[in-house]
Amino acid sequence: MSAAEDPRALDPDYDSHGGFPNFEPATPGPGFGRFLTAMRRAQDLAVSADADAATWDRAAELAEELAGLLGPFEAAEGVGPANRVPSLPGAGSLLMPPYKVVIFESDGVELEVEFSRFSVGGNYAVHGGVLPLLFDSVFGMVIHAAGRPISRTAFLHVEYRKVTPIDTVLTARGWVREVEGRKAFVNAELRDPDGNLLAEANGLMIRLLAGQP
Protein backbone atom coordinates (compact mmCIF):
# COMPACT_ATOMS: atom_id res chain seq x y z
CA MET A 1 0.00 0.00 0.00
CA SER A 2 1.47 3.37 -1.04
CA ALA A 3 1.67 6.40 1.24
CA ALA A 4 -1.22 7.95 -0.68
CA GLU A 5 -3.35 4.88 0.06
CA ASP A 6 -2.24 4.51 3.67
CA PRO A 7 -5.14 5.65 5.90
CA ARG A 8 -2.58 6.81 8.49
CA ALA A 9 -1.33 9.37 5.97
CA LEU A 10 -4.84 10.85 5.88
CA ASP A 11 -5.56 10.33 9.55
CA PRO A 12 -2.69 10.41 12.08
CA ASP A 13 -5.11 9.19 14.79
CA TYR A 14 -6.11 6.14 12.73
CA ASP A 15 -5.02 3.67 15.43
CA SER A 16 -6.66 5.42 18.38
CA HIS A 17 -10.11 6.67 17.34
CA GLY A 18 -12.55 5.68 20.01
CA GLY A 19 -10.07 3.20 21.42
CA PHE A 20 -10.54 0.85 18.45
CA PRO A 21 -8.29 -2.18 18.96
CA ASN A 22 -5.75 -3.08 16.31
CA PHE A 23 -7.01 -6.37 14.95
CA GLU A 24 -3.92 -8.40 14.18
CA PRO A 25 -4.40 -11.93 12.76
CA ALA A 26 -4.61 -14.64 15.42
CA THR A 27 -3.23 -18.19 15.33
CA PRO A 28 -5.27 -20.06 17.96
CA GLY A 29 -4.50 -23.55 16.62
CA PRO A 30 -6.66 -26.13 14.83
CA GLY A 31 -8.87 -26.69 17.86
CA PHE A 32 -10.47 -23.28 17.37
CA GLY A 33 -11.54 -24.16 13.82
CA ARG A 34 -13.02 -27.45 15.04
CA PHE A 35 -14.80 -25.55 17.82
CA LEU A 36 -16.35 -23.08 15.34
CA THR A 37 -17.53 -25.89 13.06
CA ALA A 38 -19.19 -27.67 15.98
CA MET A 39 -20.72 -24.43 17.27
CA ARG A 40 -22.18 -23.56 13.87
CA ARG A 41 -23.76 -26.99 13.73
CA ALA A 42 -25.02 -26.54 17.30
CA GLN A 43 -26.58 -23.19 16.31
CA ASP A 44 -28.42 -24.86 13.43
CA LEU A 45 -29.67 -27.62 15.71
CA ALA A 46 -30.65 -25.15 18.43
CA VAL A 47 -33.27 -23.72 16.06
CA SER A 48 -34.28 -26.96 14.33
CA ALA A 49 -34.00 -29.92 16.73
CA ASP A 50 -37.17 -31.41 18.21
CA ALA A 51 -35.76 -33.50 21.06
CA ASP A 52 -37.36 -35.11 24.08
CA ALA A 53 -37.19 -33.61 27.56
CA ALA A 54 -34.28 -35.80 28.68
CA THR A 55 -32.22 -34.80 25.65
CA TRP A 56 -32.84 -31.09 26.26
CA ASP A 57 -31.79 -31.53 29.89
CA ARG A 58 -28.58 -33.22 28.78
CA ALA A 59 -27.96 -30.56 26.11
CA ALA A 60 -28.39 -27.84 28.75
CA GLU A 61 -25.87 -29.57 30.99
CA LEU A 62 -23.32 -29.76 28.18
CA ALA A 63 -23.89 -26.11 27.23
CA GLU A 64 -23.45 -25.06 30.84
CA GLU A 65 -20.29 -27.15 31.05
CA LEU A 66 -18.91 -25.46 27.92
CA ALA A 67 -19.71 -22.00 29.29
CA GLY A 68 -17.95 -22.92 32.51
CA LEU A 69 -14.91 -24.19 30.61
CA LEU A 70 -14.49 -21.02 28.54
CA GLY A 71 -15.64 -18.52 31.19
CA PRO A 72 -12.22 -18.01 32.82
CA PHE A 73 -10.72 -17.13 29.43
CA GLU A 74 -13.11 -14.30 28.49
CA ALA A 75 -10.99 -11.50 27.03
CA ALA A 76 -11.33 -7.94 25.77
CA GLU A 77 -12.26 -7.09 22.19
CA GLY A 78 -9.38 -7.69 19.83
CA VAL A 79 -7.70 -10.17 22.17
CA GLY A 80 -9.66 -13.38 21.55
CA PRO A 81 -9.33 -15.05 18.14
CA ALA A 82 -12.94 -14.46 17.03
CA ASN A 83 -12.99 -12.23 13.93
CA ARG A 84 -9.19 -12.42 13.70
CA VAL A 85 -8.57 -15.64 11.76
CA PRO A 86 -8.93 -14.76 8.05
CA SER A 87 -8.39 -18.36 6.99
CA LEU A 88 -11.58 -19.52 8.75
CA PRO A 89 -15.17 -18.97 7.54
CA GLY A 90 -16.46 -15.62 8.76
CA ALA A 91 -12.92 -14.81 9.92
CA GLY A 92 -13.63 -17.00 12.94
CA SER A 93 -16.69 -15.10 14.18
CA LEU A 94 -19.95 -16.88 15.00
CA LEU A 95 -21.76 -13.55 14.71
CA MET A 96 -21.33 -13.70 10.94
CA PRO A 97 -22.60 -16.28 8.47
CA PRO A 98 -19.59 -18.25 7.20
CA TYR A 99 -17.98 -16.31 4.36
CA LYS A 100 -14.74 -16.40 2.41
CA VAL A 101 -13.10 -13.30 0.93
CA VAL A 102 -12.47 -13.84 -2.79
CA ILE A 103 -11.46 -10.31 -3.85
CA PHE A 104 -10.12 -7.56 -1.60
CA GLU A 105 -9.01 -4.63 -3.73
CA SER A 106 -9.26 -0.85 -3.65
CA ASP A 107 -12.07 -0.82 -6.21
CA GLY A 108 -14.19 -3.39 -4.38
CA VAL A 109 -14.48 -6.61 -2.43
CA GLU A 110 -16.17 -9.92 -3.18
CA LEU A 111 -17.22 -12.65 -0.75
CA GLU A 112 -18.63 -16.13 -1.01
CA VAL A 113 -21.20 -16.64 1.74
CA GLU A 114 -23.48 -19.53 2.67
CA PHE A 115 -26.37 -19.19 5.12
CA SER A 116 -27.64 -22.17 7.10
CA ARG A 117 -30.70 -23.15 9.13
CA PHE A 118 -29.65 -20.83 11.97
CA SER A 119 -30.40 -17.80 9.74
CA VAL A 120 -33.87 -18.89 8.60
CA GLY A 121 -36.65 -16.40 9.20
CA GLY A 122 -39.49 -18.47 7.73
CA ASN A 123 -40.23 -20.93 4.95
CA TYR A 124 -36.51 -21.81 4.73
CA ALA A 125 -35.59 -18.31 3.57
CA VAL A 126 -32.87 -16.22 5.21
CA HIS A 127 -34.32 -13.80 7.78
CA GLY A 128 -34.49 -10.29 6.35
CA GLY A 129 -32.71 -8.88 9.38
CA VAL A 130 -29.63 -11.01 8.72
CA LEU A 131 -28.83 -9.37 5.39
CA PRO A 132 -28.14 -5.88 6.83
CA LEU A 133 -25.60 -7.55 9.15
CA LEU A 134 -23.84 -9.04 6.14
CA PHE A 135 -23.97 -5.80 4.16
CA ASP A 136 -22.68 -3.74 7.07
CA SER A 137 -19.68 -6.03 7.35
CA VAL A 138 -19.12 -5.78 3.60
CA PHE A 139 -19.19 -1.99 3.91
CA GLY A 140 -16.49 -2.14 6.56
CA MET A 141 -14.33 -4.33 4.34
CA VAL A 142 -14.88 -1.96 1.41
CA ILE A 143 -13.68 1.00 3.47
CA HIS A 144 -10.60 -0.91 4.63
CA ALA A 145 -9.79 -2.21 1.14
CA ALA A 146 -10.14 1.30 -0.31
CA GLY A 147 -7.58 2.64 2.18
CA ARG A 148 -10.12 4.87 3.92
CA PRO A 149 -9.57 5.72 7.61
CA ILE A 150 -11.71 4.10 10.33
CA SER A 151 -15.38 4.89 9.67
CA ARG A 152 -18.78 4.25 11.17
CA THR A 153 -22.03 3.42 9.40
CA ALA A 154 -24.27 6.48 9.23
CA PHE A 155 -27.07 4.72 7.37
CA LEU A 156 -27.68 1.45 5.57
CA HIS A 157 -30.60 0.90 3.19
CA VAL A 158 -31.48 -2.59 1.96
CA GLU A 159 -33.79 -3.54 -0.88
CA TYR A 160 -34.91 -7.17 -1.07
CA ARG A 161 -35.29 -8.42 -4.65
CA LYS A 162 -35.73 -12.19 -4.25
CA VAL A 163 -35.89 -14.73 -1.43
CA THR A 164 -32.39 -15.52 -0.15
CA PRO A 165 -31.88 -19.29 0.15
CA ILE A 166 -29.92 -21.29 2.71
CA ASP A 167 -27.37 -24.03 1.96
CA THR A 168 -26.35 -22.25 -1.24
CA VAL A 169 -23.04 -20.51 -1.96
CA LEU A 170 -23.92 -16.89 -2.75
CA THR A 171 -21.78 -13.97 -3.92
CA ALA A 172 -21.67 -10.64 -2.08
CA ARG A 173 -19.94 -7.66 -3.65
CA GLY A 174 -19.30 -4.16 -2.34
CA TRP A 175 -17.63 -0.98 -3.60
CA VAL A 176 -17.25 2.74 -2.90
CA ARG A 177 -19.58 4.71 -5.13
CA GLU A 178 -18.58 8.24 -4.21
CA VAL A 179 -16.40 10.12 -1.71
CA GLU A 180 -17.06 13.56 -0.22
CA GLY A 181 -14.49 14.47 2.43
CA ARG A 182 -15.23 12.34 5.50
CA LYS A 183 -18.16 10.68 3.73
CA ALA A 184 -17.92 7.51 1.64
CA PHE A 185 -21.08 6.39 -0.13
CA VAL A 186 -20.99 2.62 -0.61
CA ASN A 187 -22.98 0.01 -2.49
CA ALA A 188 -23.31 -3.77 -2.14
CA GLU A 189 -25.26 -6.61 -3.69
CA LEU A 190 -25.98 -10.28 -3.08
CA ARG A 191 -26.47 -12.73 -5.95
CA ASP A 192 -27.23 -16.43 -6.29
CA PRO A 193 -25.12 -18.88 -8.37
CA ASP A 194 -27.17 -18.03 -11.48
CA GLY A 195 -26.44 -14.33 -11.08
CA ASN A 196 -29.91 -13.41 -9.89
CA LEU A 197 -29.97 -10.32 -7.68
CA LEU A 198 -31.28 -11.29 -4.24
CA ALA A 199 -30.73 -8.03 -2.37
CA GLU A 200 -28.82 -4.79 -2.73
CA ALA A 201 -27.78 -2.11 -0.31
CA ASN A 202 -26.44 1.40 -0.21
CA GLY A 203 -25.03 3.25 2.73
CA LEU A 204 -22.96 6.07 4.10
CA MET A 205 -19.73 5.51 6.00
CA ILE A 206 -18.31 8.53 7.86
CA ARG A 207 -14.69 8.79 8.92
CA LEU A 208 -14.34 9.20 12.66
CA LEU A 209 -12.89 12.31 14.19
CA ALA A 210 -10.33 12.14 16.97
CA GLY A 211 -12.01 10.91 20.16
CA GLN A 212 -15.17 9.63 18.48
CA PRO A 213 -16.13 6.10 19.62
Distance of CA 90 to the CA centre of its chain: 6
Is the model's pLDDT at 2 over the cut of 50?
no
Q: Give the pLDDT confidence score for residue 3 in this predicted structure.
A: 40
Grade residue 78 by pLDDT with cuts at 50, 70 and 90. Answer: confident
Give the alpha-carbon dihedral of 89, 119, 191, 159, to 10 degrees.
Answer: -130
pLDDT in tens, 192-202: 999 999 999 99
Is 23 a residue whose pLDDT tops 60? Answer: yes
Higher-confidence position of 56 and 211:
56
Specify the pLDDT at position 5.
Answer: 57
* Residue 153: per-residue pLDDT: 96
Does the pLDDT value for residue 210 go beyond 80?
no
- pLDDT of amino acid 4: 45
The fold of 7-207 is Thiol Ester Dehydrase; Chain A (3.10.129)
State residue 51 phi and psi, 5-degree precision. Answer: -95, 170
pLDDT at 20: 64
Q: Give domain limits for the chain.
A: 7-207
Helix then strand count (H, E) for the chain reads 4, 8
